[in-house]
Amino acid sequence: MTDKTRVRFAPSPTGALHIGGAHTALFNWLWARRNGGSFVLRIEDTDLVRSTGEYEQTILQGMRWLGLDWDEGPDVGGGHGPYRQSERIGIYLEHANRLLDSGQAYREGEAIIFQVPPGRTLAFDDVVYGHIEMASETLKNIVLIKSDGFPTYNYAVVIDDHTMEITHVVRGEDHISNTPKQILLYEALGWDVPVFAHLPMILGKDKKKLSKRDGATSVYEFRDMGYHPDGLFNYFALLGWNPGDDREIFTREEAVGMFDLARVTKKAAVFDTDKLNFVNQAHIARISPVERAKLTLPFWNEAGLKPCDRSDEWLAQALELLEGRGQTFRELAEYTDYLLSFDSVKARYDASDLDEANRGLLRRFFAALLEIPSWDADAMEALAKTWCEDNGAKLKDVAMPLRWTLTGRKVSPGIFHVAVFLGREETKQRLCHYGLA
Ligand code: GLU
C-alpha cells in the first residue's frame, strides 16, 4: 500500500448522475485534493442489462460540469486500470481461483461461492459512524462469481479497491451493511482493509428519501434550472459537512483547504432548495458581470429574447440593473425580459386599468418627462416630484403606470433607471403603444 491518499467514486452507469452520487463524488474529490492524493473514477458496469455507455458519458459530463476532475479513470487511463469492471473479469477470476484453491470458496455449477466461516466478529471503525460490528453467523455465504461469469458487487469492490490501492472508501451509508461482508473477503484474501467513511443520507424536506417530489434530482436538471456549478458544488459540500465556523459561502479551493472527513456528520442531511438558492445567489454575485451575462444567455435564448442582438456589455448592464435580485440564471433572464423585448411587456399588461381621467394626467406628465433635457434618473425623479406637487398628484400615481408600461410588472428596479437604460426613444414608443404619449 502506498502512503498517498487514494479514493474512488464507483458509479454504476445505470442512470444519470443524481444528487446522492454527485455528493459522494464531491466528498471523495475534496478528500483527494485536501491530501494531495488521487481521485479514481471506476465504472461498475457488471449489471449488463442496465448499464449503458451513454449513462457512463452522462455521469462523466455531469462530474465535469460540477468541476470534479479525476486523476485515473476509463477515459484518462492510469496505472491501475482497466477502470471498467466489465474489462476486469480476468482479475476477478484469478482471485476467486485462489479462494477455491485455499478451500475458502466452492463451486456451485458455474458460480463460485465464498463459505462464510462461523464464529467471527467482523468489526470496523467507520470515520463517520464509529465502531460497527457484526457476527459472521448473521451472514449467508457470499456469491463471488455468478453463473454468467460476472462478479457480484461485494466481491468486485474488494478486488478493485485493493488492486487500485484505495486508502479510503468514501460512499453512501446504504453500503454500511455490505461492509462486514467485504471485510471478510479482505481477510480471506490476506489483504489490509482500507479506511471506511460512510456519508449520511440526503433526504427531501418531508424527511423521506429524495425523489422527484423534491424537484430536480440529476445534476443536469440543476444546470437546466439555472444553477451555477460553483453554487451547486458549495451547497452539496454543506450536506453533512460544515467548515466548523459560520462560513456558508466558499469556492472549491476554499472548500479543499477546510475539508475534513472527521467533520462529516452522520445525521441525515435535508435537501433544502431555499438554502441552495441562497448559496447560488451568492455565487452569481461573485462572478463578473460579463460572465454572468454569458451564463444567462441560454435562458434568454430559451425565452426567445434574442440576446444575440445585443452586445456583451449591454447584456451585462441589463443584469446590473437587478442589483443582486435573482437566485438562478433562469430568474435573471426572466427578471430582465422587458429590457430585451417589449413583447414580454405587452403579454403581461394591456393598460385596461387606466380610465380617461388617469390617462389625461399621465399624458401631460409623460410629455414633460420625454422633454427633459438630460435623460438621467436623478433629473427625472426631481422633475417627477416637482410636477406631482404642482399638479396635486402623488409620485406613485405617475411612477406605477410608468413601471407597468416599461416592464409589465408591479415590481422592478428603480423605474427611472429602467427608462434611462431603455433610452428616450424606446421609452417613448412604449408609452405611445399604450396611448400615453
Ligand atoms: N456501484 C456502487 C454504487 O453505485 C458503488 C458502491 C461503493 O462505492 O462501494 O452504489
- Give 298 Cα–ligand 1 centroid separation in angstroms: 34
Residue 108 DSSP one-character state: E
Centre of ligand 1 from the C-alpha of residue 174, in Å: 9
CATH topology of domain 288-340: Helicase, Ruva Protein; domain 3 (1.10.8)
DSSP-based three-state secondary structure for 102 = coil
How far, in Å, from the CA of 64 to the mean position of ligand 1? Answer: 19
Can you tell me which atom of ligand 1 is nearest the CA of 8? 8
Q: Ligand 1: does its nearest atom lie under 6 Å from the Cβ of 73? A: no
Distance CA 313, CA 307 (A): 11
Cβ of 10 less than 6 Å from ligand 1: yes
- pLDDT band at residue 198 under the 50/70/90 scheme: very high
Question: Of ligand 1's atoms, which has the minimum distance to the CA of residue 174?
Answer: 10
| Mutation pick for ligand 1 pocket among 27, 44, 170 (CB with most ligand atoms within 8 Å) | 44
The percentage of the chain sitting over the pLDDT mark of 70, rounded to a whole number, equals 100
Do strands 142-145 and 111-114 pair parallel, antiparallel, or not at all (unpaired)? antiparallel
13 lines ligand 1 (CB under 6 A): no
Average pLDDT over residues 115-139: 97
Cβ–Cβ contacts within 10 Å for residue 382, how many? 13
Q: Would you say the CB of residue 44 lies under 6 angstroms from ligand 1?
A: yes
Please give the distance, rounded to the nearest whole angstrom, from the Cα atom of residue 10 to the centre of ligand 1.
Answer: 5
Q: What is the pLDDT of residue 212?
A: 73
18 close to ligand 1 (CB < 6 Angstrom): no
CB-neighbour burial class of residue 411 (10 A; exposed 0-12, middle 13-18, buried 19+): exposed
Per-residue model confidence (pLDDT) at position 359: 96
CATH topology of domain 1-72+200-286: Rossmann fold (3.40.50)
The answer on pLDDT for 1 being more than 50 is no
Confidence (pLDDT) at 286: 96
Q: Band the pLDDT of 214: cuts 50, 70, 90.
A: confident
Which whole number is the average pLDDT over 313-335? Answer: 97
Q: What is the DSSP letter of 112?
A: E
More confident residue, 206 or 170: 170
Cell of 429: 414608443
The listed CATH number (1.10.540.10, 1.10.287.80, 1.10.10.350, 1.20.1330.10) that belongs to domain 347-433: 1.10.10.350
pTM over 0.85: yes
85 lines ligand 1 (CB under 6 A): no
Catalytic residues: 212
Q: Is the pLDDT of residue 258 over 90?
A: yes
- pLDDT over 90 at 436, yes or no: yes
pLDDT tens per residue, range 15-70: 999 999 999 999 999 999 999 999 999 999 999 899 999 999 999 999 999 999 99
24 CA closest ligand 1 atom index: 8
The yes-or-no verdict on residue 231 having pLDDT over 90 is yes
> What DSSP line would sit under 286-305, residue for residue?
HS-HHHHHHHHHHHHHHTT-
Evaluate whether 1-72+200-286 and 88-199 have a shared fold: yes
- pLDDT on residue 217: 84
**pLDDT tens by residue, 60-107:** 999 999 999 999 999 999 999 999 999 999 999 999 999 999 999 999
Q: Distances from the Cα of 314 to the Cαs of 71, 293, 328, 339, 391, in angstroms?
A: 41, 9, 20, 10, 36
What is the model's pLDDT at position 3? 78
Domain range list for the chain? 1-72+200-286, 88-199, 288-340, 347-433
pLDDT band at 2 (very low <50, low <70, confident <90, very high): low
- The answer, yes or no, to whether residue 215 has pLDDT greater than 90, is no
* pLDDT, tens digit (0-9, with 9 covering 90-100), for 388-431: 999 999 999 999 999 999 999 999 999 999 999 999 999 999 99
- The full DSSP string for 172-233 is EGGGGGGHHHHHHHHHHHT-PPPEEEEEPPEE-TTSSBP-GGGS--BHHHHHHHT--HHHHH
**Rounded to the nearest whole angstrom, what is the distance from the C-alpha of residue 59 to the centroid of ligand 1?**
14
CATH 3.40.50.620 fits 88-199, yes or no: yes
Distance in angstroms (rounded) separating the CA atoms of residues 280 and 12: 29
In whole numbers, what is the pLDDT of the chain averaged over residues? 96
- The residue-averaged pLDDT of 152-172 equals 98
Gap from CA of 11 to ligand 1 centroid (Å)? 6
Q: 213 with 207: CB under 8 angstroms?
A: no
DSSP3 helix / strand / coil % (the chain, rounded to 5): 50, 15, 35
- Which atom of ligand 1 sits closest to the CA of residue 171? 8
Q: How many whole angstroms separate alpha carbon 225 and alpha carbon 222?
A: 5
* Ligand 1 neighbourhood includes 157 CB (under 6 angstroms): yes
